[in-house]
Structure 1
Amino acid sequence: MINFVGTTKIETERLILRRLELTDIESVYNHWLSDERVTDNRISPAHTNISESKERLDKIIRDYSNKEFCYWGMELKTINILIGEIDLYNFDYATDNCEVSYSIGFNWWNQGYGTEALQAVVDFAFRQMNVHKISAAHNVDNPASGKIMHKVGMKQEGVIRHMIRNAKNQYKDCAVWGFLQEDYYKG
């Protein structure tokens, strides 16, 4: 059974994973939600104005009242700047499984922040929440995301053809990855 504790603060060597706040709106908009290089790897299109991001942020903040909501902003410890987001979602109560997704601003790609954040959230999910399995997927034309998943111990389970359709109305094949709690503890 999953032990839901909500979105609690998590610290890593270089990051603070924390709840988003309304004061984060400019970072959220400027660093990833309005950047097509980032949103090309997401289902939803790039935001064209800050009010779209504010609407999304308002909903996230409201959802923090639910203990089953696990959604963190990634903040760099050294300069207190928000660089991305990561969340656990789609909890299946019959299997105790869930999914994870993340987005990182382009300026911080290929610096290990995605791996660091994902490792922390995987640790949290398995150790604190007692999740049985974590799944994730990435567009096959975004292999960097797969490298992050591999580095934290996830195993690629296959490729699903035309799994999503992006904002440009293009179907994308996605690599699907999984990580079992028992494999996590085997190390």
Structure 2
Amino acid sequence: MPETALILIDIQNDYFPGGAWEVDKMETVAANAARLLDHARTAGTLVIHVRHEAGSDSAPFFRPGTPGAQINATVKPRDTEAVVLKHRPNSFHETDLLDMLRDAGVVNVTICGAMTQMCVDATTRAAVDFGFKATVVADACGAKAGSFDGIDVPAEVMQAAFLAPLAMSYAKVVTTKEALDG
């Protein structure tokens, strides 16, 4: 039984340059995620891809049935790898992700993908709440700039603002190099 699972969250076409909802540095994020994926495949680690699909055709991105909602070729799932379809930021919400992890005897989850401030954050917190030990690979996660109450938040600040509290009490936050060397 694999003790660790790699969870790749929402590495989908709409987040890449030219997509409907570009995420900062997404090509670098995906390249690092692909390195983690190659390592996991070689090591026999359980790999689970998570794909987000919006609830309607009028959504700004990840519209059902569109190329933008498909997993990017950089981390294309193999036929033997699970793909979890979700409709909310938390990858556990109304999916079979928890059962998959428990049935496989997983204790540790390594998480990467996008967006850091939404789905990565929500999934990491939920994983820990369900009793898993979480590692988040910072440079294999991507954030998007945002704005609130007249304050613009650049992507790199958004990334740091969400990874800092995860590192404080939820997860071990590492680089791709550290994850691969560890």
Please indicate, yes or no, whether the TM-score normalized by the shorter chain is above 0.5: no
TM-score (norm 2): 0.35
Q: Which has the higher contact order (CA 8 A, sep 6+)?
A: 2
- Structure showing the higher strand proportion among its residues: 1
